[in-house]
């Protein structure tokens, strides 16, 4: 296959990772997996940073004022910091555990699903029965989660276009606008290489910066007294906040994919690495927009703040165009994970190599059509955000990393008084509770929308 078409990483298969390899000297401390990765199209640190920001700053950030309306401005600020810190911590332990397992196996890289499979096999005996289903289970959740993000993106792009067309041309149903964007989505989704997507991500980040400046201009214009807003709200609204913030903050599949394709992966997780630096920027931006957006619009905050700013003014319309373009680019970045898992791991080998590219493009077109169908079925953006965040990200971004660390630390011990195990169990309990309650409330909200 042409090197310019697709990024290919040469790693052992899942079957080759079932039994830990024994190095000749009896130790695996001298083996550094990062030095043995073989990438045909690795990304630079700058390209990786651009991808990280674009993957983490999507439509979710525009929903932060609505999220704060379900928490209050004090609660919202504190809880966003807590949830963001937990999400960052879980990403760190996930990447660290994957690295440890690579050293134990003496292989360059293991995927998220392979790491869960290996971790469960090496973990507590009562968890080892879950190892056989770990690979399809994790892959399924990752593919479904990023598919769900793409569905939300279809809704957002169509809503943005509808507002402009309604203002200047003709009033159409949002579903007609979804039909119009199918072809552009198929075109951007046909790009299968993260390195080729990097210039798009950089351009999108510039558009985002300009767009946020315009939004903040409208927010700071004639702010009402802060006393008119609630610092705290009833606990019954918090699950929706939890799901929305999780959705906004984390794109675990894309983050792992861009780390895998780095030329210098050690630069990703250092104290001042891409992960910490990028997440600090993202958290600051989310709190800024959430706090002041809620201050400005209060309980009237929409699922996307672009629906609150004046619809007829030129700067506001420019914002909608910019965010529609950046979301269109993000569609390819988020959808990369779904296609990479389903096609590369499960479907590609079923087709002859001479026609594999053609069938992959056809498969990607089918994914676009399926996201369109789901977006038509549930066009309410806010409830969909919360459902995807609560259900998928509580599992992928919080529960699985903690469970993996419990398994990886099993052979090394949990420290004095099993303190590491206690911390992980507390995190596990919080994640399960937040995910279950958030998912339940989101489903109730969706039922209410249909009624």
| CATH number (domain holding residue 100) | 1.20.1740.10
28 in any annotated domain: no
18 in any annotated domain: no
Please tell me the predicted confidence (pLDDT) of residue 52.
87
Backbone angles phi, psi at 305, to 5 degrees: -65, -20
Q: Which tens digits make up the pLDDT trace of 32-62?
A: 888 888 877 788 888 888 888 877 777 778 8
pLDDT > 60? residue 165: yes
CA distance 177 to 159: 8
26 in any annotated domain: no
Confidence of residue 347 (pLDDT cuts 50, 70, 90): confident
**295, two tokens:** 């201050």
43 in any annotated domain: no
pLDDT > 60? residue 316: yes
Predicted TM-score (pTM) of the model is 0.82
347 in any annotated domain: yes
Percent of the chain with pLDDT over 70: 90
Pair 131, 117: CB distance under 8 Å: yes
Q: Where are the alpha helices (DSSP H) in 2-72?
A: 45-56, 59-62, 64-69
pLDDT > 50? residue 344: yes
What's the average model confidence in pLDDT over 129-134?
91
Confidence of residue 381 (pLDDT cuts 50, 70, 90): low
Instruction: Give the total number of structural domains in the chain.
Output: 1
129 in any annotated domain: yes
33 in any annotated domain: no
Please tell me the predicted confidence (pLDDT) of residue 277.
92
Q: Which tens digits make up the pLDDT trace of 182-241?
A: 999 999 999 888 788 888 888 888 998 898 899 999 998 888 888 888 888 887 778 778
What does each C-alpha distance from 236 to 79, 347, 437, 438 come to in angstroms? 15, 43, 10, 10
pLDDT > 70? residue 322: yes
What's the average model confidence in pLDDT over 402-423?
88
**416, two tokens:** 């004095």
32 in any annotated domain: no
Range of the domain at 156: 48-450
Confidence of residue 379 (pLDDT cuts 50, 70, 90): low
């Amino acid at each position: 296959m042409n090197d310019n078409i697709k990024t290919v990483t040469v790693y052992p298969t899942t079957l080759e990772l079932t039994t830990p390899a024994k190095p000749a000297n009896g130790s695996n401390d001298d083996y550094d997996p990062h030095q043995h990765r073989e990438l045909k199209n690795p990304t630079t640190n700058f390209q990786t940073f651009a991808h990280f920001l674009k993957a983490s700053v999507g439509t979710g950030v525009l929903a932060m004022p609505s999220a704060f309306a379900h928490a209050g401005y004090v609660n919202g600020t504190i809880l966003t910091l807590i949830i963001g810190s937990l999400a960052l911590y879980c990403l760190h332990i996930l990447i660290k555990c994957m690295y440890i397992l690579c050293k134990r196996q003496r292989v360059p890289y293991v995927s998220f699903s392979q790491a869960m499979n290996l971790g469960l096999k090496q973990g507590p005996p009562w968890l080892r029965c879950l190892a056989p289903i770990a690979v399809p289970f994790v892959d399924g959740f990752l593919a479904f989660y990023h598919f769900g993000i793409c569905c939300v993106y279809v809704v957002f792009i169509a809503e943005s276009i509808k507002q402009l067309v309604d203002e200047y041309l003709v009033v159409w149903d949002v579903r007609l606008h979804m039909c119009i964007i199918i072809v552009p989505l198929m075109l951007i989704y046909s790009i299968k290489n993260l390195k080729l997507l990097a210039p798009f991500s950089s351009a999108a980040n510039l558009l985002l910066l300009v767009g946020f400046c315009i939004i903040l201009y409208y927010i700071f214009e004639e702010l009402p007294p802060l006393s008119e807003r609630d610092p705290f709200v009833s606990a019954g609204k918090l699950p929706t906040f939890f799901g929305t913030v999780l959705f906004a903050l984390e794109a675990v599949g894309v983050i792992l994919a861009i780390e895998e394709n780095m030329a210098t992966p050690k630069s990703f997780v250092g104290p001042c690495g891409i992960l910490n630096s990028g997440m600090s920027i993202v958290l600051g931006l989310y709190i800024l927009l959430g706090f002041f957006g809620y201050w400005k619009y209060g309980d009237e905050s929409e699922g996307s703040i672009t629906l609150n700013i004046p619809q007829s003014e030129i700067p506001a319309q420019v914002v909608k165009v910019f965010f529609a373009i950046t979301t269109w680019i993000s569609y390819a970045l988020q959808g990369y994970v779904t296609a990479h898992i389903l096609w590369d791991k499960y479907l590609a080998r079923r087709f002859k190599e001479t026609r594999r590219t053609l069938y992959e493009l056809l498969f990607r077109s089918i994914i676009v059509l399926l996201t369109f169908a789901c977006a038509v079925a549930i066009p309410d953006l806010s409830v969909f955000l919360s459902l995807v965040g609560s259900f998928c990200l509580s599992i992928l971004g919080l529960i699985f990393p903690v469970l993996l660390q419990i398994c990886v630390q099993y052979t090394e011990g949990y420290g004095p008084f099993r303190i590491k195990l206690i911390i992980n169990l507390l995190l596990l309990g919080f994640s399960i509770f937040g995910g279950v309650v958030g998912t339940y409330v989101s489903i109730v909200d969706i039922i209410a929308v249909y009624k």
